[in-house]
A and B are shown apart, each in its own frame.
Chain A
Amino acid sequence: MSNNNKKWFSLNLGRKEKVSSGSCSCGKTSGGCGTSSNSHHMTDDEFAAAAINASIGEERTKDGFEQVFDVKMDRRTAFKKLTASLLIGAGAVSTSCSVISGDESREKSQIDWEEQFKGNYKLMTDEEKQATVDRLVRSYQLRTGKTLSMSSKNAEEDVLFGYAFNISKCQGYMDCVNACVEENNQDRDSQMQYIRIHEMKDGKGFNFNEADDNYYHEVPAEGHFYMGTQCFHCDNPPCVEVCPVQATWREDDGLVVVDYDWCVGCRYCMAACPYDGRRFNWSKPEVPEAEINHNQHYLGNRMRKKGVMEKCTFCVQRSRAGKNPACVEACPTGARIFGNLLDPNSTIRWVLENKKVFRLKEDLGTEPKFWYFMD
């Protein structure tokens, strides 16, 4: 259908570059494709009815067990279903091709179609990554009239990101949490936050059962110390292992990322993570338009939708550009250190080699790239 060899099927709905053969992908040169005599122009209600029929059909009256074990899929029903789903497809095409709808809505549905059927980001070539990012930017522009910049920058060679956290420096101010929420466009309604700062009693070690990660009193409190947790970007990440659709993976620079458009929201990764590093969008994330951070990365802080996982990405949109993550920049005590583990002259390497560092649950073999140390 399309001129370049993509890995997925895409319709060309009213794109200008294909006008040579006709105004529309249905092949008609004159008139909308919905106007021909034998075409079936559906109203919205009919469309919905057909969609439901095609997807569940008779099974509406059956319970789950019967639906699975009592399917009599003879050739006739199979064909019936096939025709119905084709009808839906035709409906979608006719809506987007119809002459009544404007150029913008046509472009919108073209983008929606291509976004719907795009592949896994992990498998995309650089051009495909750029194309999906362009589509998302254009889509945002069409919907809100505002522009944003979205990057699809890949991992750089000779870079492996690592993080160190100084327990004796953290005072529990939580400036990092604020900076993170703002930087990463996290849902304000559910007050989602990637970072948790735990207030722990001195002399009790890391006792997470007695720690408080939602304190509100003057800090630092007497007889307490503070430590932060977030996604540790394990080098052997269990969350990646369990993902049934490979929507999350470890990039070459060590970042564990999520393709929000490929995630099916099963939350296996949430269960597999031993550090509670992952967050789920139970509702549509709401961020006031004025507070949206427009400097985005496909794998980072772009707007998420309902029902997908998200997590700390070490601010991929910042770190791959050479900046420190927002939490590191916001920390007023200098308790957070970030850098390239492969650079022998980096400050993070000095910390690892000269301070007494340790990691959480090291015995699990997850190899987190997040070290704690004390003065």
Chain B
Amino acid sequence: MKNNIDIMSKIVCFSFFLLVFFSCKHHENEYHSITDKIEAESKNYHGTSISSEAYIGDIKTIEITEGGHTFLIPERKSQIKSYACTECHTKPLSQMQSKNLKKAHWDIKLDHANANTMNCITCHDGTNMDHLTSLTGKSIDFNNSYNMCSQCHNKQFEDWKGGAHGKRIGGWAPPRASMTCVNCHNPHKPHFESRWPARFNTQKVKERE
């Protein structure tokens, strides 16, 4: 009788341990949180076969390296209709403002900061129209016009380099191609216009009546 109880208790003990052993295996929730999971699983990240290169399409790009980030941005100069500017701007600006010359982009109104801060020559070089000019008079290429903007919009520049500001071209996968400032913002009028939303759900209105 005592032997029986002994065996019984052994079996109970054994099955208890077995239960504990099997029930402690969490396959589903290996990580405490998603951030832990991302951290752990990206440690031996080898890259993927997925590429977004095909989706960049016909857009001509240039590679830039800024603050440790290397990525592609659209080439700008070929997109400016009447580049090079010096083809028309053969004389200094003061001489070109006469009445008998053909007018071009005379209707541009600067709606960017206020008159105390900015006018045309804050960005444009009156003596060499093919380049932009920095606040200290250094020349900036039209292709790298983000260097112009970043003088004031430093925070946006930081975010843009990292990828928090601006928009990707193509897809999410490498190689990274991002729009540059002037692809979304008109430098003469950089804010976004207010407009009507693209859609209105009439069915939702009916449902909620």
Contacts and interface: CB of A to CB of B under 8 A. Distances in A.
Interface of A: 156-160, 162, 164, 166, 169, 171-175, 177-178, 181, 189-191, 193, 197, 213-220, 235-236, 318-324, 328, 331-334, 337-352, 354-355, 367, 369, 373, 375
Nearest to B160: A334
**Chief secondary structure at chain A's binding surface:** loop
**Chief secondary structure at chain B's binding surface:** loop
B204 interface: yes
Contact of A156 (B34, B48, B171): B48
A340 B172 contact: yes
B198 A322 contact: no
Contacts of B45: 158, 342-344
B196 to A, nearest CB: 6
B164 interface: yes
Nearest to A341: B38
Contacts of A216: 196-197, 200
Contacts of A174: 197-199
Contacts of B203: 189-191
Contacts of B50: 156, 159, 320-322
Given A171-B192, A216-B197, A354-B162, A322 B51 contact: yes
Given A158-B47, A354-B162, A346 B38 contact: no
B195 interface: yes
Contact of A351 (B162, B171, B184, B199): B162
Given A354-B164, A367-B33, A369-B34, A193 B194 contact: no
B194 A219 contact: yes
Nearest to A169: B165
Interface size class of B (residues with CB under 8 A): 35 or more
Nearest to B29: A236
Interface of B: 29, 33-35, 37-38, 41-42, 45-52, 54-55, 155-156, 159, 162-168, 170-174, 176, 178-179, 184, 192, 194-205, 208
B43 to A, nearest CB: 9
A350 B172 contact: no
Nearest to A368: B34
B204 A373 contact: no
Contacts of B47: 158, 343
Nearest to A187: B203
A332 B186 CA distance: 13
Contact of B48 (A159, A235, A328): A159
11 contacts: A160-B38, A322-B54, A332-B192, A337-B163, A343-B42, A344-B42, A347-B168, A347-B178, A352-B35, A367-B33, A375-B156
A347 B178 CA distance: 10
A352 B42 CA distance: 14
B194 A158 contact: no
Given A191-B202, A347-B163, A351-B163, A324 B171 contact: yes
Given A191-B204, A348-B163, 19 more contacts: A156-B48, A158-B45, A158-B47, A171-B192, A173-B195, A177-B199, A218-B194, A219-B196, A320-B50, A322-B172, A332-B192, A334-B184, A338-B168, A347-B162, A347-B163, A349-B42, A352-B35, A354-B162, A375-B159
Nearest to A217: B196
A342 B164 contact: no
A175 B198 contact: yes
A199 to B, nearest CB: 9
Nearest to A323: B171
A210 to B, nearest CB: 15
Contact of A178 (B46, B167, B176, B199): B199
A162 B34 CA distance: 11
